[in-house]
Structure 1
Amino acid sequence: MSEGTIPAALDRAAEDFAGREALVDGDIRFTYAELARRVRQAARFFEGHTRVAICSPNTWHWVVAGLGALYAGATLIPVNTRFTARETIDILERAGVSALAITGTFLGTDRLADLGSARPGTVLRIPVEGVEEPVDGVTEWDALAGYDSRFTSPAQVNDVSDILFTSGTTGRSKGAMSSHRQALSVAEAWADCGGLTEHDRYLVINPFFHSFGYKAGILAAVLRGATILPQRTFDVRETLRLIETERVTVLPGAPTIHQVLLDAPERTDHDLSSLRLAVTGAATVPVALVERMQTELSFDTVLTAYGLTEAVVATMSRPGDDAKLVANFSGRATAGFEVKLGEHGEVLLRGPNVMLGYLDDPEATAEAIDAEGWLHTGDVGVLNEQGYLRIVDRIKDMYVSKGFNVYPAEIEQALGWLGGVAESAVIGVPDAVYGEAGKAYIRLSPGAKLSTEDVLAHCKRNLANYKIPRFVDFVTELPRNLSGKVLKRVLREENG
């Protein structure tokens, strides 16, 4: 094993922070020394496998199995727990996975059983919802305790550490490959910007199968000796309880998570004074939300960041940036990235941490990364004089109304200024007069009352006439993926 690998980082943490809590999940409380021992046992189980997949919610088992696969020298393939069996099998086959750690029953579905005979030859079952009947050819989690924990990792710094599959919302998912060096570099940059230390207690709500939960979560914590507290699914009451009882200091998440915390009637019954750092990010983060997070959720620092599966963390704000800058911009370049704007204002990224390429897809790789090494993100952005990036929208989300380009995120930002609007999503819909017109989906804050007329009057005061939505739909919730991003594709499908 060479320096600069994820196993080397874990070994260093086990030495430097041996007695500090590394992982807390219910009754489980592992020090870094104990975590490293468990990981080496898992590595012994995965020994000899080239690619290992994990399909499980955020639990301590995921951390041990994921780090164990990496420690064994395998490439880690995280699988979205909401994928259907067909989608999961597609990834397992395309990635050539020979070993799989998977939950049995989770959220009412037996994910292991659903795979049937398509499962790999080596399967480790992660217990999530109680004891389940034995399955022939499947190793139960408790069996890992019998494996020898003496293990030397064969991992090398430039080996492919992981393949993260894109969500596939615009087509078939693609597997973005990164090396150990790259994975640690983006995690280190995130930890630097957030000032993460061994005294932090980090509640990870972002799914581990996502780069934010895995790299800005698990790996960042290991690099700094912070305590990892996984949460299986976001439940506001459980989140409030964990913040108070476990004295959580770091709580990243999509803006909606923090909005729900602010709106929770139980919030004032809990001591949230331990919170110090929030990291969020989206096309729209209202200034008012940032200010409320600081005043009502006790955060000393609220940062925004921008990244994608192919680059993970490309820009990030810094402690000391004011609320308006944090809300309107996604920070400036980090992790060795260069940022510039290309045609139509598309955000282009270049640097040592751009993905190695897409798995077995040279055409898609060449389309995403040009001959000069610039990654074409598909996001439209603006750069200020200090190099801070504001994401205007996705190129594909832009629509044309009255002959003008309209970026929904600009309208959503304006709607965020209207009292009573908790969040919004705007799409373009077919219109006989304008070609396309805006339709705003709005979720109100608890107890708030607004009419369509109120919304349109506000828009008229704050937006050019061609940007004003023609339609307003009040909804109780917006469709989202597990990372908290609104699925505008679903909204567009509802409108034909």
Structure 2
Amino acid sequence: MTLTVPAALDAAAERDPTGEAVADGDVRLTWAALRSRVRVFAGFLSSHGVGLGDRVAVCSPNTWHWVVAGLGVLYAGATLVPVSTRFTARETLDVLSRARVSGLVITGRFLGTSRLAALDSLPPLVVRVPVEGVEPPVPGVVEWSDVDGTCDAAAVTPDDVSDILFTSGTTGRSKGAMSAHRQALGVAAAWASCASLSAPDRYLVVNPFFHSFGYKAGILACVLTGATIVPQRVFDVVTTLQLIEQERITVLPGAPTVYQMLLDAPDRSRRDLSTLRLAVTGAATVPASLVARMHSDLGFDTVLTAYGLTEAVVATMSRPTDPLDVIAHFSGLPTAGMEIRLGAHDEILLRGPNVMLGYLDDPAATASAIDPAGWLHTGDVGHLSPDGHLRITDRLKDLYVTGGFNVYPAEVEQVLATHPAIVDSAVVGHPDPRLGEVGRAYIVPRPGVAVSAAEVLAYCKENLANYKVPRSVEFMSALPRNPSGKVLKRLLRDAPPDPASATPTTPVPPQERPHA
């Protein structure tokens, strides 16, 4: 296998020069044309002194510009630092400072806000991407249209650092996970193999490019296989349905909520979705009913579940031959040469060639995450079936103890997912003077369907042991999520309950109360 990203791009352009690499609205790039544009961008960086050992950040939504810039950074031999477009200016500046970047590729106005204007300090080289039209010039900032140059691929090695991906910071300050070229391509190849990705595929990349799913299991997987990259700037169900029909999309990975919203879309039946063949999703909660409807109502031939994290990207993935109940309740078998075992409290431990090199400038955090034997401590709780399938139970930090009994929110969320009036849910523990902690369920009702807190709690009582039943319910229009689709439970824990929405349960009968 090709072990550096520049070599992989060269191989793609030589293998199928006229094949369509990127389809983004009016912009259509063949693999030869993509490599040509990447060489221009890499030459531009080189002419400004950016090369081996330097770092360049990219903060822009999913467009063809990101593909060219991201691959161009790597082609020039520099290290790519993707930055979330959802970060505040403070968070962005923190990443740019800690990564000590030499250059920044950043969107101008996006979703009505100028990301560039919000930054009060900039690296030496800045390129502005015209995502929402041309804007007035900014002194010292290079416009995308003025980027020029050319160069051959830099002499990078498989062990050189290819990228630094900062974690979503769900538990505090984000950390920069470093990967080598061989690792970035290794996880992309493993994902592509399990997904049977190939040149005829047209891959709608809804997952942000700044996230490992969109970048490594998206852009790099397509570079390795020749599949067409069809970027979508922001997930919007109407636009997604249009793109599936117009671009003849075959592959559409995403969080479970993406598919649920497609199923609930009023105009879904009027769209031609017949080209869809593969969906890849993953979460602690993927209802079997959702998987079944993805087959029957959305027309996917294959639905796979997977498990990974920024520090390892792809750890497990189901196989097309797995039955529906296995796909719904498990996250597949180890892939990409990964070993898996369960540690204390059933924490999932991973070891393999694609576990990150470490956290940027943070040896203490690295030592805490990766033990001396090379096992990555994920913080996720799981279960392994006799045949090695991994089931994600929860996050260690999400577990709460009520009256001496451990409660895993994912188990409660699995039950809530089967209620016909509930489209999304999250359960978190909150302090309680008598029981220590009690659960609160945050519920997103299905559009147009009425459901009360009493009905939700009654349903839980019918299907769960008493100590697992949440003690209150709060209704929301949407749950707060990070770019990979994971619920930001810390925001729910920190937020005070809405008195108009939160409804306490009836007291627990003494004979049913949990005890130590």
Shift of the alpha carbon at 1:100? 0.8
Give the C-alpha shift of residue 164 in structure 1: 0.3
- Alpha-carbon distance between aligned partners in 2 of 1:137 and 1:442, rounded to the nearest angstrom: 48
Q: Map 1:303-322 to 2 at 5 A.
A: 303-322=304-323
* Distance (whole Å) between structure 2 residues aligned to residue 87 and residue 201 of structure 1: 34
Match of 1:123 in 2: 126
Whether the aligned pair in 2 keeps the contact of 1:56 and 1:102 (CA below 8 Å) is: yes
| Alignment correspondent of 1:15 | 14
- Between the aligned partners of 1:352 and 1:99, the Cα distance in structure 2 is 30
What is the correspondence of 1:75-474 to structure 2 with a 5 Å cutoff? 75-116=79-120, 118-144=121-147, 146-148=148-150, 150-474=151-475
Task: Give the SS at the match of 1:112.
Answer: coil
Alpha-carbon distance in structure 2 between the residues aligned to 1:296 and 1:17: 35
Q: Which amino acid in the other structure matches residue 24 of structure 1?
A: A
* Structure 1 stretch displaced more, 384-393 or 45-54: 45-54
Contact 1:301 1:319 in 2 (8 A): yes
Matched, 1:28 2:27: yes
Tell me the SS of whatever aligns to 1:128.
Answer: coil
- Partners of 2:416 and 2:2 in 1: CA distance: 49
Q: How many residues are paired up?
A: 492
Aligned residue for 2:512?
Answer: none
Displacement of 1:76 in angstroms is: 0.3
Check whether the contact 1:286–1:416 (CA below 8 A) recurs between aligned residues: yes
Q: Deviations over 1:39-90 (max 9, x none)?
A: 0111111224211100000110000000000000000000011111111111
Aligned pair 1:71/2:70, yes or no?
no
Distance 1:236 1:73 in 2: 38
Provide structure 1 residue ranges, at least 5 long, that are not aligned to the other structure: none
CA drift of 1:171 comes to: 1.5
2: CA distance, partners of 1:3 / 1:83: 33
- Structure 2 Cα separation of the partners of residues 17 and 420 of structure 1: 49
Q: Is the 8 A contact 1:206 1:253 kept in 2?
A: yes
Distance 2:307 2:2 in 1: 28
Write the letter of the residue equivalent to 1:222.
Answer: V
> What is the CA–CA distance in structure 2 between the aligned matches of 1:402 and 1:185, rounded to whole Å?
46
The residue type paired with residue 99 of structure 2 is A
Residue 127 of structure 1 aligns to which amino acid in structure 2? P
Structure 1 match to 2:37: 38
Structure 1 residue 421, shift from structure 2 partner: 1.5
SS at match of 2:394: strand
CA distance in 1, matches of 2:2, 2:294: 39
Q: Secondary structure at the match of 1:294?
A: helix
Letter in 2 for 1:126: V
Poorly superposed stretches of 4+, deviation over 4 Å: none
| Match of residue 495 from structure 2 | 494
Give the structure 1 partner of residue 5 of structure 2: 6
Identical positions, percent:
66
Shift of 1:3: 4.6
Distance 1:115 1:325 in 2: 47
Deviation at 1:401, TM superposition (A): 0.7
* 2:55 and 2:78 in contact (8 A); partners too: yes
State how far apart, in whole Å, the 2-side matches of 1:101 and 1:419 are: 45
Structure 1 counterpart of 2:149, one-letter code: Y
Cα distance, 1:359 vs. partner?
0.5
Provide Cα deviations, 1:164-202, integer angstroms capped at 9, x if missing partner: 001122121110000000000000000000000000000
Give the CA deviation at 1:334: 0.3
- Report how far residue 408 of structure 1 moved: 0.3
Mapped partners of 1:3, 1:82: distance in 2: 33
3-state SS of 1:207 partner:
coil
Q: What is the CA–CA distance in structure 1 between the aligned matches of 2:178 and 2:34, rounded to whole Å? A: 26
- Confirm or deny: 8 A CA contact 1:429 1:495 kept in the other structure: no
| One-letter amino acid of the structure 2 residue matched with residue 103 of structure 1 | T
Give 1:451 shift: 2.4
Offset of residue 453 of structure 1 = 2.8
Distance in 2 of aligned mates of 1:371 and 1:295: 47
Opposite residue 413 of structure 1, the aligned amino acid is: Q
Q: Is the 8 A contact 1:401 1:436 kept in 2?
A: yes
Instruction: Give 1:356 shift.
Output: 0.2
CA distance in 1, matches of 2:484, 2:183: 22
The CA distance in 1 between the partners of 2:149 and 2:132, in whole Å, is: 24
Residue aligned with 1:252, SS: coil
**In the alignment, is the contact (CA less than 8 A) between 1:311 and 1:353 conserved in 2?**
yes
Q: CA deviation at 1:464?
A: 1.2
1:200/1:250 contact within 8 Å kept: yes
Whole-angstrom distance in 2 between the partners of 1:152 and 1:213? 23
Larger displacement relative to structure 2 (466-475 or 329-338): 466-475
- How far off its partner does 1:369 sit? 0.2
Q: What is the rounded CA distance, in whole Å, between the counterparts of 1:227 and 1:10 in structure 2?
A: 13
Give the Cα separation in 2 of the matches to 1:327 and 1:239: 24
Residue in structure 1 matched with residue 61 of structure 2 by the alignment: 57
Between the aligned partners of 1:473 and 1:81, the Cα distance in structure 2 is 29
The separation in 2 between residues aligned to 1:378 and 1:367, in whole angstroms, is 11
Q: Deviations over 1:240-268 (max 9, x none)?
A: 00000100000000011111110000111
Measure the CA separation in 1 of the matches of 2:495 and 2:394.
Answer: 21
Q: What secondary structure does 2:289 align onto? A: helix
Equivalent residues of 2:77, 2:153 under 8 A apart: no
Calculate the TM-score normalised by the size of structure 1. 0.97
Contact 2:422 2:446 in 1 (8 A): yes
The answer to whether the 8 Å contact 2:61/2:208 transfers is: yes
SS at match of 1:249: coil
How far apart are the structure 1 equivalents of 2:62 and 2:452?
A: 40
SS in 2 for 1:449: coil
Equivalent-residue separation in structure 2 for 1:105 and 1:457 (angstroms): 48
Contact 2:457 2:470 in 1 (8 A): yes
